[in-house]
Amino acid sequence: MTDIKNRQDIKQLVEAFYEKATKDPLIGHYFTNALVSNWAGHIETIVSFWDNILFQTGTYKGGMLFKHLNVQQETAFRREHFAQWLSLWEETVHQLFEGPFADEAIFRAKSIAGIMEVKLRTH
């Protein structure tokens, strides 16, 4: 296995993650109910988000937290949702990559999950 090297690797990671997440019995509905109308656009947005996080490309322009507030209004986020998202992300990273950028992707995901949980969780 190699480390995450570029946007194409990030796309592979994001697509593999969403393949799992959309089918997950605990969190799948967040992805399928909210994103059906523009799935390809969402994937590209998330790839840009992680490209910016890992490689400081400036490709992501948007308000991640604000966008999740809309989803939160439909179905409340709970602690176990964040834990499952993080578990699937870590599993996917470890299945595909190893190295400093892979480790950074996991570290940043933990940080993001913690912030989002505090800001969005209802109980």
Q: Where are the domains of the chain?
A: 7-120
For 46, the token pair is 């998330």
Bridge partners for 97 per DSSP: 2
Residue 97's SS3 state is: strand
At residue 19, the pLDDT reads 95
14 or 41, higher pLDDT: 14
Categorize the per-residue pLDDT at 60 as very low, low, confident or very high, splitting at 50, 70 and 90.
Answer: confident
In CATH, which superfamily holds the domain spanning 7-120?
Answer: Globins (1.10.490.10)
3-state DSSP: the chain helix, strand, coil percent, rounded to 5? 75, 0, 25
Bigger pLDDT: 103 or 61?
103
pLDDT category of residue 9 using cuts at 50, 70 and 90: very high
Convert the pLDDT of each residue in 45-57 to its tens digit.
899 999 999 999 9
Residue pLDDT, tens place only, 61-80: 766 554 544 554 456 677 89
